[in-house]
Amino acid sequence: MAAPDLESLYKFESEFEIAAVAFLNTATGITVNRTIQTTDLETPRIEVRFELGAAQDPPTMRGGGASPTAIDYRAYDAMFSADILTDNAVGQAANHFVYRATVRVAMMRSADNWKASNLPYYDLKYLRPSGENYSTDGDFNLTEMSWELIFEIRDDAWPA
């Protein structure tokens, strides 16, 4: 599917976060928030964040769109985070472990969540858990989970 313009194609953060919100919400049944959102924060919740890393060398031909022989960066490194927050004061502690396991399953490389219907402009090439950090603050439990990924702009995603 071709992006309508280059700006839409390069909204990496938005596209990956929207896809993750959809499949993590379905998998966990709790609220999932993106990085730039203006909703009330409730618990339990998951906050997702996509951070672009370096483009991978060498740049290559686009292979599609209006300029198929133009040389551009197509493959990028990135970090994806899912932060799980629960509140012990209202009995959510036991579910915290369940949410972590459910997120891990949804984020597995073999899962069918990072697909063309969710990410029409990109192919996920690599997905690896890179660690997590657990902390508490008063009654709140927070697990910060992260993954390294590599994605590539699809040939058919370049605008006409």
DSSP per-residue string spanning 81-115: EEEEEEEGGGT-HHHHHHHHHHHHHHT-TTSS-SS
* pLDDT tens sequence across 75-132: 999 999 999 999 999 999 999 999 999 999 999 988 889 888 899 999 999 999 999 9
74 falls in which pLDDT band (50, 70, 90)? Answer: very high
Domain spans, the chain: 6-157
CATH number of 6-157: 3.30.2000.30
* pLDDT tens sequence across 130-158: 999 999 999 999 999 999 999 999 999 99
Residue 38 scores a pLDDT above 70: no
